[in-house]
Chains A and B, each alone.
Chain A
């Protein structure tokens, strides 16, 4: 494992030296003139004044921010600055997002193509209320918005070389492919069922408060296509919140590059690195931005992969009408696809994928609440002082060259550096993907996190929903987040409370 990590490191270092630090970022903001660069540098500097809210902090998604009243629909509003045409595309995308796909052949040809293996029949089934998924609440809870990714360590010289060069991000499990589908069309068997067992461990906070963390163990039961490979690697993933994705895509690459500190040159114990997508040698490789390990460079690629992997629907960007079938799964490639030549070459022909991606790019971050409250400002100060803001980077001004006009040149507050960080043994899935080793996760954005309970009726956080509230989520931070987590543990109860109040206001 370390071997791959080193290779990734050196590759990133090369680009790091080619474009060093803040200067490079300024040079790199090729979308800005020199006057704008100064303005932007000024506005994105971390604040040192915690006596009042910053200008425009309330509107954490810039002009796209939704100011609709707080409700269970708070993550479902469209970017407030869309024009009428944009609103239509959003609503068409929404219709497709909730659409149920059916197995072929059916009476509604345009809906054909489900599976053969799948995790859900619609996007919305996992992305509940466009918000955050959750693990099963108990053994009876079938409303799961979570699955297991699977792969194996590279076994052959060829595979090792392909991983090293970046040609491949992972080696799929020989029988079960890249993820475990727990459902199938009626002609096929589902692959198996995810099983979670929790044990507990206690953490003592200053003042004696005891927090019990639940430690999950994952396994697969009811395997219908034989045993998993002995070197199989599993990685559980809940559906992440959908808000603000288009704005994250509009962050200029130079700003992400400037966040990077692969060798921890500044000695702060934090060494974020970019998740590169594509062969290392390729000048066209892209920055990964989406997914828990930043494995997709854009919303549309993420959407295409989800269509293919989760629902079994092919599109121009993921031409896999058989979804995640493998040759080892007898009959899987014999099933009928939903491709209708008169409608196009894919099960989701144009403009279906584009509309879904447009929808996913335009779910508006909600306006903040209580942005001026003393408790919130106190928590904000602690958030900065504790080093939380070093990775959960507060603000950016998006690129003037963003694909969609509503996403251009917006002051946004996502609280992420878009980089991968080693989060320690506790959170490790031991399953490398592309640039990310088995300990690394992308800093997830925090905007909207305070409305999770309002929208989704739960407060399960982290990539697998193991944390049952924000305090537990913080306490799980290890590795590069360890120092900040320790500081949190050593805070007075009132300070911890204030920090949580700040997060709740996002």
Chain B
């Protein structure tokens, strides 16, 4: 599927078509609709990032409570706040692909998988002299001086700037994830040492207790947790502003509504198929590896996947339910498709609902029978099948999204051996 449009920065088919006028979906009445649709899209983005920011601030408050008064209860409350914060954020992921401004930023807040030995103490089974990552067990919480690429680095102050600029992706190794939700997740839960058996990470609250410190260096662990949380808040603020009135992301999808619609479809399709069905789900099934889960310390992967799919559906229906129960909605992509081809709209709506249903089955299984990392384990036919059903739903909905692209007039006709040079008027004058 190729989108032949004028925009740059999306993941699709820019190539040489970038230079030629486009087939934009024709009539003016529809243009008005498209503008209203992309406005809804931007409004929902603003609401989602606002909710993500607010829930991150609630997370910060609960982390402060944990630090002020370390106990089982305050640690549990902080974990619960983290899980709540994931729900709106995951719904933002449908905005990542198709919006370069989101995609470029995403690695700071949601990078995974991470080598947790970079951050804090790890179990002996983790291996102590890994070669693939010289910082594998550097344990910045325990070490005030690090060696990064042969240079001594002062780590005496763990600040947001230090995490973002020095530690994150240090030595060009992408697994050196020092920031974002998953770094905070590791600090709250600790390593999940259960493999494909039941159980998440089980860090004791005393790891944050200055008076009865376990795990060593509680002061630095607290600094790290606070710095990572502050950084997350700052990053979310930046993205919220991008979607507010006058923000770059909002402008980029509303100034030229055709471009906005393509961003919407690209985001839905790319998250569905390649990212979620592929890298985050199918790979785990292929490898039967409990490390191949998105929220591996907290065993919250089922929620992450579920809310990704809710986010995909939000984009289509122009309808977002906020954590407080209120609704943001408006003219939708569904309306646009319905006006062109009512049957196609019904089909995509049904497919999106079916995937939500399959994800709900997986979520229910995770909450009652076994965690996601157990579901992808070897010799677990029933668990594997539940995950596979969600993957199948994601792929099926993408196939219909591809047809929507064509129906709305954003697809180029597939010519055998197509692309750049087949457009003779463009290349050969």
Which A residues form the contact surface with B (CB < 8 A)?
A: 39-40, 42-43, 55-56, 59, 62-65, 67-69, 71-73, 77-78, 80-81, 83-85, 87-92, 94-96, 98-100, 107-111, 120-122, 124-125, 128-129, 131, 136-143, 183, 352, 397, 400, 405-406, 408-411, 456-457
Report yes or no: B100 in contact with A68, Cβ–Cβ below 8 A: yes
Instruction: Give per-residue flags for B251-292: 1 if the beta carbon is below 8 A from chain A beta carbons, else 0.
Output: 000000000000000000110111101110011001111111
Known contacts A69-B104, A108-B291, A110-B286, A80 near B13 by CB under 8 Å: yes
Judge whether B381 is part of the interface by a CB distance below 8 angstroms.
Answer: no
Stretch in B29-37, B170-178, B340-348 touching the partner: B170-178
Q: Which of A68, A136, A183, A397 has the most CB of B within 10 A?
A: A68
Judge whether B217 is part of the interface by a CB distance below 8 angstroms.
Answer: no
Instruction: Give per-residue flags for B144-157: 1 if the beta carbon is below 8 A from chain A beta carbons, else 0.
Output: 00010110000000
Stretch in B84-92, B125-133, B299-307 touching the partner: B125-133
Which B residues form the contact surface with A (CB < 8 A)?
A: 1-2, 8-9, 11-16, 18-19, 100, 103-104, 107, 130-134, 147, 149-150, 169, 171-175, 195-196, 269-270, 272-275, 277-279, 282-283, 286-292, 378, 398, 401-402, 417-422, 424, 426-428
Q: Which of B14, B100, B131, B289 has the most CB of A within 10 A?
A: B131
Report yes or no: B417 in contact with A456, Cβ–Cβ below 8 A: no
Report yes or no: A83 in contact with B1, Cβ–Cβ below 8 A: yes
Report yes or no: B275 in contact with A91, Cβ–Cβ below 8 A: yes
Known contacts A90-B274, A108-B288, A121 near B132 by CB under 8 Å: yes
List A contacts of B275 (CB < 8 A).
91
Question: Of A73, A92, A136, which one neighbours B279 at CB under 8 angstroms?
Answer: A92
> How far does the alpha carbon of A43 sit from the alpha carbon of B107 in the complex, in Å?
40
List A contacts of B147 (CB < 8 A).
140
Known: A81-B15, A87-B274. 9 other contacts (CB 8 A): A65-B15, A67-B9, A81-B2, A84-B401, A95-B279, A108-B287, A108-B290, A121-B130, A409-B417
Of the A-B pairs whose beta carbons lie under 8 Å apart in the complex, a sample of 21, sorted by A's number, is A43-B428, A55-B427, A63-B420, A65-B14, A67-B18, A84-B270, A84-B272, A87-B274, A88-B277, A91-B274, A92-B279, A95-B292, A107-B196, A108-B288, A111-B287, A129-B172, A136-B150, A137-B149, A138-B150, A143-B171, A409-B421
List B contacts of A125 (CB < 8 A).
131-133, 173
Report yes or no: B9 in contact with A397, Cβ–Cβ below 8 A: no
Q: Which of A39, A85, A95, A107 has the most CB of B within 10 A?
A: A95
Q: How far is the CB of A309 from chain B (nearest CB, A)?
A: 16
> How far does the alpha carbon of A83 sit from the alpha carbon of B286 in the complex, in Å?
22
List B contacts of A109 (CB < 8 A).
288, 378
Report yes or no: B172 in contact with A456, Cβ–Cβ below 8 A: yes
List A contacts of B103 (CB < 8 A).
68
Q: Which of A69, A84, A120, A409 has the most CB of B within 10 A?
A: A84
List A contacts of B421 (CB < 8 A).
39-40, 43, 397, 409-411
List A contacts of B424 (CB < 8 A).
39
Ranked 3 nearest A-B pairs via Cβ: A63-B15, A141-B150, A87-B274
Report yes or no: B15 in contact with A62, Cβ–Cβ below 8 A: yes
Report yes or no: A84 in contact with B269, Cβ–Cβ below 8 A: yes
Closest to B268 in A: A84
> How far does the alpha carbon of A408 sit from the alpha carbon of B419 in the complex, in Å?
8
> How far does the alpha carbon of A87 sit from the alpha carbon of B174 in the complex, in Å?
20
Question: Of A89, A107, A139, A411, which one neighbours B420 at CB under 8 angstroms?
Answer: A411
> How far does the alpha carbon of A122 sit from the alpha carbon of B115 in the complex, in Å?
13
Report yes or no: B100 in contact with A69, Cβ–Cβ below 8 A: yes
List A contacts of B130 (CB < 8 A).
100, 121
Q: How far is the CB of A324 from chain B (nearest CB, A)?
A: 16
Report yes or no: A110 in contact with B131, Cβ–Cβ below 8 A: no
List B contacts of A457 (CB < 8 A).
149, 172
Report yes or no: B15 in contact with A84, Cβ–Cβ below 8 A: no
> How far does the alpha carbon of A72 sit from the alpha carbon of B173 in the complex, in Å?
11
Q: How far is the CB of A341 from chain B (nearest CB, A)?
A: 14
Report yes or no: A56 in contact with B420, Cβ–Cβ below 8 A: yes
Report yes or no: B420 in contact with A88, Cβ–Cβ below 8 A: no
List B contacts of A140 (CB < 8 A).
147, 150
Q: How far is the CB of A61 from chain B (nearest CB, A)?
A: 9
Report yes or no: B169 in contact with A72, Cβ–Cβ below 8 A: yes
Closest to A88 in B: B278
Report yes or no: A129 in contact with B174, Cβ–Cβ below 8 A: yes
Report yes or no: A63 in contact with B13, Cβ–Cβ below 8 A: yes
Q: How far is the CB of B109 from chain A (nearest CB, A)?
A: 15
> How far does the alpha carbon of A89 sit from the alpha carbon of B402 in the complex, in Å?
17
> How far does the alpha carbon of A341 sit from the alpha carbon of B19 in the complex, in Å?
53
